[in-house]
Chains A and B, each alone.
Chain A
Amino acid sequence: MAADTTTRPAPPEQIKAVPVRHPGRWIAAVVIGVLVLMFVHMLVTNPVFQWKFMVDNMFSPPVLRGARTTLVMTVLAMLLGVLLGIIVAIMRLSPNPIVSGAAWAYVWFFRAIPRIVLLFFCANLGALYGTYDLGFPFDHQIMGWLGLSGDLRFLGLNGNQIFKGFFAGLLGLVLSEGAYMAEIVRAGIQSVDPGQTEAASALGMSRGKTMRRIVLPQAMRVIIPPTGNETIAMLKDTSLLIAVPVTSELNFQLRAIGSRTFQIIPMAVASILWYLALSSLLMVGQYFLEKRFSRGFGARETRNQRAEREARTVGGTH
C-alpha cells in the first residue's frame, strides 16, 4: 500500500485555554506604583534635599580619602578577622579541653563587648603598660629567683606609640570580628557530612590535610553568606573608628561637611548613597566567591538535565 500523505492524522492540537485572572496582583502593583510616585515626588520637591549641594560635596577629596580608608579598613579587618575566626573555630573543635576552653572564652568575651568600647580600650593600651617587649614570659621573676640581673627580652615598643590610630582601630575590629567569624566557621565545619572526614581518614589523610583540603572547602558554602553579612556590617562599623580616634574615615568626613555648612540632611543622604554603593560592590564580590565554591554542589543532575546541558555546549564532551 503506497504511503498516503493526504489522509495523515492531524498533529495534536495545542491547548489554548483562557488564563486565570489575578486581580490582587494588579491592585498591589497599582498601590506600590503610587507609593513610589509619592516617594519620588518628595525627593524632587522637598527643599531640605539640596541635591546640587550634595553632589558638589560628596566627591570632595577628604570624602574620597575617607572612602578609601573605610574600604581598606573593611577589607583588612575582614581578612584578618576571617583568619582569626578559622583558627579559633578549629581550636573550639579540638579534643584538647584547654585549647577548646580558651577558644570558647575568647568567643564569649569578644562577642559581648560593644565594638565602640573595645576600640576605646585598644586605643588606650598605652595606659596598661608603658612598653611592650617580645621575650620570655615572666622573665623578671625567673631571673630574680635565679639571682641574676637583666632580662630575657628583646624588641621593645612604646605602648603609646603603637596603640593609636589606624593600628589600634584595626586591632579592635579584628579581635571583635574574629569572635563572630569563629562561630560562623564552626557552623560551616559542622555542616560538612562526617562521612567526608571518614573517607579522608580511611585514605590515610592526616587531620590537617583533611581539614584544609576536604572539610574547609566544603564548609565555605555555608560560611560565605553570613560572612557577606559580616563584611557589610564591618563596612558600617568603620564609622566607630571615631572612638579611637580615627577621623579619616567616610562617615566622619561627610558629617564634618554637614555640620560645618549646616546642611545636615543632604550630607546624611550622601552618606546613605555612599554606603549603598560600597555595599553593592561587596555584594558583587560575594556573588563571585559563592560561585567559585559551589562547584560540584546543587541537586544531582538527572539524565534529562545532562542532555540539555550537553546540547548547550555542543561538541563539548567530558
Chain B
Amino acid sequence: MVKAEGVRKSFGSLEVLKGIDLEVAPREVMCVVGPSGSGKSTFLRCVNHLEKINSGRLYVDGHLVGYREKGGKLHELKDSEVATQRQDIGMVFQRFNLFPHMTALENVMEAPSQVKGLRKDACRDQGAALLERVGLGHRIHSYPNQLSGGQQQRVAIARALAMEPKLMLFDEPTSALDPELVGEVLDVMRGLAESGMTMMVVTHEMGFAREVGDTLVFMDDGVVVEAGDPKQVLTDPQHERTRSFLSKVL
C-alpha cells in the first residue's frame, strides 16, 4: 500500500529524512516510534504530500505521491491532482484540527459533500453512522469546544473515515490527551485495525504498538534503525540506539 524508496527530506540546510526505505502492506498496522526530531512525523506528512520530498520515491497504492513519471522525467502534479490523491489517504493530527465553527456532524459531513459532491442527506446519514461507530452518536450536534479532547479526536477519526480512505495516517493521535482519555481513542483505533484498515501510526503508546501493531519501526535521526514484529523489537531490540530509547520509554 505504501512504498518508500530512499526518501530524503531537508528543511533548508537541515536534513531531516536521510534515506527512508519502508513498505506497508494492505491491512497492515505499522507503528513508528522514536525520539523527537527523528523525522517520524515528517515522514508521515510526506506520505500525503503535506511535505514535499527532496529525493527518492514514495508510492501509495501504486501511485507516485505528488509527482507523475513521464518519459523518464518527474512532473509535479497540479494542486487538484494532489487533492485527488489525498482523498484516498485519511489523516488524524495530534492537535485534532477540527473545524471549530461546525458541529461534530458538520465536520464529518464537510469533506464528502464538498469534495466528493455527495448529497447532503446521504452525507448526514453516513456522518451520523460514523460518529455512532466511534461512540459519539449522542453528541453529533455539539461543537468541538463542547467536547473533551478524547471526544474531539474521535470526531477527527470519523471525519477522516468519511472519505472512505484506503490508508489512515495517525500523527501522535493521543499525545495531546489527558491520560484517562487516551484509552477511548486507542479503542477506536484498535477497532479500525481489526476491520482491516491499513494504518501508519506515529505514537509513544508502546502498549498499543505491541497489541495492535503488525510492524514496529524505530526511527532515529532521520533513518530507520530497526523494524520488525512489535513483540520482538520491544523485548529483544537488536540495535544499541533502540535499546537506549526503549529503556527510557518503557
A interface list, Cβ under 8 A from B: 193, 195-196, 198-207, 209, 213-214, 217-218, 293, 295-301, 306, 317-318
Contact = CB atoms under 8 A, between A and B. Distances in A.
A199 B99 contact: yes
B86 A196 contact: no
Contact of B89 (A202, A217, A293): A202
Contacts of A200: 99
A209 B140 CA distance: 23
Contacts of B100: 218, 296-297
A202 B144 contact: no
Given A203-B163, A204-B87, A296 B143 contact: yes
Given A203-B115, A318-B139, 4 more contacts: A196-B97, A201-B83, A218-B101, A296-B143
Interface residues on B, range: 35 or more
B95 A204 contact: no
B102 interface: yes
B79 A299 contact: no
Nearest to B106: A296
Interface of B: 48, 50, 79-80, 83-84, 86-87, 89-91, 93, 95, 97-103, 110-111, 114-115, 138-146, 156, 159-160, 163
A199 B140 CA distance: 19
Contacts of A218: 99-101
A203 B86 contact: yes
Contacts of A295: 101, 143
Contacts of B48: 202
A196 B111 CA distance: 13
A132 to B, nearest CB: 37
Contact of B110 (A203, A300, A317): A203
Given A195-B95, A198-B50, A217 B87 contact: no
Contacts, number: 87
A218 B93 CA distance: 19
B163 A301 contact: no
B93 A301 contact: no
Nearest to A298: B145
B146 A207 contact: no
Given A195-B93, A199-B99, A296-B100, A204 B146 contact: no
Contacts of A201: 50, 83, 86
A293 B141 CA distance: 17
Nearest to B50: A198
A306 B114 CA distance: 32
A214 B99 contact: yes
Nearest to B149: A300
Nearest to A196: B97
Nearest to B156: A199
Contacts of B143: 295-296
A198 B115 contact: no
